[in-house]
């Protein structure tokens, strides 16, 4: 029953987010701050992980191609497909659920514990709109982060491939250009936008409705990470089934 | 004017408020007292609309709170100032930004007009030199004064204070008490204060409501509290030897 109650409360929170909007001039500044906190501050870790995971994907693919009949350029092809279809949109989103999600839950949860949310409500501010809406809008820039992850993943793969001696630069570039289907990018960005919405709202839900003190803020962050990851994985499957099959 | 009639509030099976009614609360200080767990904070949060009550009514200027539309509630809340027990300052904003926050949200003022208004109220609470500090850099007493400044910046009609003296030393507590009392008169507000600090109650409690186990056990003034033979009030107020002696001296005189 509590799951159903939580799901219902989550959707009521989403509806409430669009009611009684905060003043435009205030909201503009909130959105810019969230872009900085959620998007810009994540670029470093996303770039680092993408570059090296791209390299690892390439090495593992190259090492598994043992047959001399398989052309070397397939290493680039497999790397591109793995990164664009799965690694960048999904794997990075799981990492972001840990980084951005726990930040959102703990910051909103701390506001709940210290009665700052009550203070907003007493003043007549729609606290859900004030706290959650700017995060959702800021994360519409999330596809930009994923584009960087795709680019650096492929560059990391290229570096590992060429400097590791698995194939030539020309073969790798041939591979990443081979049979490119533009719809795969559309699919990746549709997933990314859905995951961005999940990343903004599920951690916010767990922070906003948490009860207790500092210990519960920590617990709420952990629960938010688990549920954000679970929902991302489930939606990944559903969207893949709907868009690619 | 606030009037509370037969207010009930339950959390699940636990009834926290069991039919509290008060006389009309006119512009002046009203102090709600009672032991921890007596329902003071729940009562205050019901008055503020932060908790939906189970039964009864709260009237603001003869308008029932539950019958107000969302816009009317929003309008009413813009006339309410609240000082929370832990001050509830926005920790990502400076002291000046905290004070300007209600103006930024609801008033159509220019940046300089908001700054001027914030300066006036910060000066009123003797914090005109602390504008650029972050709340974490301010002492407990300063944070309480910032919270008071933020609560009054919009010229509210009602001021609610939840244990404004908790965690403060006696001298700072008196400063805060006096400030609330002076501001109530200056702004002609209805001020409702939750407290179990008896110094504060005797200092500013023109009208006192005593809650026990979610019920109103007594209502009176800080003068009449000395004369009451109400068992519940006496055991709470005169639990310290100091107040027993004060009462004896008062009655002797």
Asked whether the beta carbons of B183 and B148 are under 8 A apart, the reply is yes
Number of A:B CB contacts under 8 A? 54
Q: By the 8 A CB rule, do B107 and B114 touch?
A: yes
What do you get for the CA distance between the two ends of chain A, in Å?
Answer: 34
Flag whether residue A116 sits within 8 Å of chain B, measured between CB atoms: yes
Nearest chain B residue to A22 by CA distance is B105
- Nearest Cα of chain B lies from the Cα of A162 at a distance, in angstroms, of 48
Say how far apart CA B209 and CA B195 lie, in whole Å. Answer: 10
| Helix or strand (DSSP H, E) at B247 | helix B241-252
pLDDT over threshold 80, residue B202: no
Q: How confident is the model at residue A110 (pLDDT cuts 50, 70, 90)?
A: very high
What per-residue confidence (pLDDT) applies to A177? 94
Q: What is the pLDDT of residue B205?
A: 75
In whole angstroms, what is the distance from residue B229 CA to residue A128 CA? 49
Is B87 strand, coil or helix? coil
What is the ipTM metric for this complex? 0.84
Q: Which tens digits make up the pLDDT trace of B150-185?
A: 999 988 888 998 888 887 888 888 888 888 888 888
pLDDT digits (tens, 9 = 90+) for B215-237: 888 888 877 877 777 887 777 77
Residues B48, B40: Cα–Cα separation, whole Å: 12
Residue ranges covered by each domain of chain B: 1-79+191-253
- pTM for the full predicted model: 0.87
To the nearest whole Å, the CA of A126 is away from the closest chain B CA by 9
- Give the model's confidence band at A1: pLDDT under 50 very low, under 70 low, under 90 confident, else very high: low
B→A interface, C-beta within 8 Å: 45, 48-50, 70, 73-78, 80, 82, 84-86, 88-91, 101-102, 104-106, 160
Report chain B residues whose CB lies below 8 A from the CB of A114: 86, 88, 91
Q: In this structure, are residues B184 and B81 in contact, taking their beta carbons and an 8 Å threshold?
A: no
Give the distance from residue A47's alpha carbon to the nearest chain B alpha carbon, in angstroms. 28
In this prediction, residue B27 has a pLDDT band, given cuts at 50, 70 and 90, of: low
**CA dist., res. B26 & res. B45, Å (int):** 19
Residue B237 to residue B102: CA distance in whole angstroms: 37
Per-residue burial over A53-92, b = 16 or more CB atoms within 10 Å of its CB, e = otherwise: bbbebbbebbeebeeeeeebbbbbbbbbbbbbbebbbbbb
CB contact, 8 Å: A22 with chain B? Answer: yes
Put simply, the answer to whether B88 touches A115 (Cβ < 8 Å) is: yes
B210 has which bridge partners?
B33, B218
- Give the number of other Cβ atoms within 10 Å of residue B138's Cβ: 18
Structure confidence by residue, pLDDT tens digits, A35-88: 999 999 999 999 999 999 999 999 999 999 888 888 889 999 999 999 999 999
Report the distance separating Cα A182 and Cα A180, nearest Å. Answer: 6
Parallel, antiparallel, or unpaired: how do β-strands B158-162 and B190-195 relate?
parallel
Average pLDDT estimate for A165-187: 93
Alpha-carbon distances of A59 from A64, A70, A80, A162, B252, rounded to whole Å: 9, 16, 13, 10, 94
Residue of higher predicted confidence among A156 and B124: A156
Phi and psi of A237, rounded to 5°? -65, -45
Task: Determine the topology of domain B1-79+191-253 in CATH.
Answer: Rossmann fold (3.40.50)
Q: Are A154 and A83 in contact (CB under 8 A)?
A: yes
Angle at B154 between CA A109 and CA B93, to 5 degrees: 40
Out of B88, B105, B160, whose CB is closest to A114?
B88
């Amino acid at each position: 029953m509590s799951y159903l109650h939580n799901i219902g409360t989550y959707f009521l929170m989403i509806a409430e987010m669009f009611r009684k909007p905060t003043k435009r001039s205030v909201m503009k500044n909130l959105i810019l701050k969230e872009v900085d906190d959620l998007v810009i501050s994540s670029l470093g870790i996303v770039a680092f992980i993408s570059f090296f995971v791209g390299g690892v994907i390439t090495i593992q693919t190259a090492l598994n191609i043992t047959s001399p009949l398989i052309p070397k350029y397939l290493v680039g092809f497999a790397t591109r497909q793995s990164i664009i279809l799965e690694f960048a949109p999904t794997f990075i989103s799981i990492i972001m659920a840990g980084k951005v999600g726990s930040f959102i839950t703990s910051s909103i949860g701390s506001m709940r514990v210290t009665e700052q949310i009550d203070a907003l409500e007493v003043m007549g501010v729609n606290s859900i709109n004030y706290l959650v809406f700017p995060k959702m809008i800021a994360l519409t820039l999330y596809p930009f982060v994923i584009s960087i992850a795709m680019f650096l993943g492929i560059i990391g793969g290229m570096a590992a491939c060429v400097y590791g001696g698995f194939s030539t630069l020309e073969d790798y570039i041939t591979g990443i250009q081979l049979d490119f289907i533009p719809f795969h990018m559309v699919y990746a960005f549709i997933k990314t936008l859905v995951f961005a919405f999940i990343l903004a709202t599920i951690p916010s839900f767990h922070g906003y409705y948490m009860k207790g003190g500092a210990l519960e803020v920590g617990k709420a962050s952990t629960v938010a990470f688990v549920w954000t990851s679970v929902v991302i994985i489930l939606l990944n499957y559903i969207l893949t089934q709907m868009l690619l099959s | 004017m606030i009037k509370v009639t037969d207010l009930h509030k339950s959390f699940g099976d636990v009834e926290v408020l069991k039919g509290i009614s008060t006389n009309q609360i006119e512009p002046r200080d009203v102090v709600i007292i009672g032991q921890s767990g007596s329902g003071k904070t729940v009562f205050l949060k019901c008055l503020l609309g932060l908790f939906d009550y189970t039964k009864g009514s709260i009237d603001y200027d003869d308008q029932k709170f539950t019958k107000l539309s969302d816009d009317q509630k929003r309008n009413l809340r813009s006339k309410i100032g609240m000082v929370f027990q832990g001050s509830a300052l926005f920790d990502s904003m400076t002291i000046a930004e905290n004070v300007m926050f209600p103006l930024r949200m609801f008033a159509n003022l220019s940046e300089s007009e908001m700054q001027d208004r914030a300066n006036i109220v910060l000066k009123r609470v003797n914090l005109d030199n602390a504008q650029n500090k972050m709340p974490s850099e301010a002492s407990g007493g300063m944070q309480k004064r910032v919270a008071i400044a933020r609560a009054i910046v919009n010229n509210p009609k009602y001021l609610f204070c939840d244990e404004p003296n908790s965690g403060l030393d006696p001298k700072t507590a008196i400063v805060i008490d006096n400030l609330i009392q002076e501001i109530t008169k200056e702004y002609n507000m209805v001020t409702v204060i939750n407290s179990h600090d008896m110094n504060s109650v005797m200092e500013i409690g023109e009208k006192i409501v005593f809650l026990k186990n979610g019920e109103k056990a007594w209502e009176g003034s800080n003068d009449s509290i000395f004369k009451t033979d109400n068992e519940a009030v006496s055991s709470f107020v005169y639990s310290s030897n100091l107040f027993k002696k004060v009462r004896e001296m008062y009655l002797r005189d």
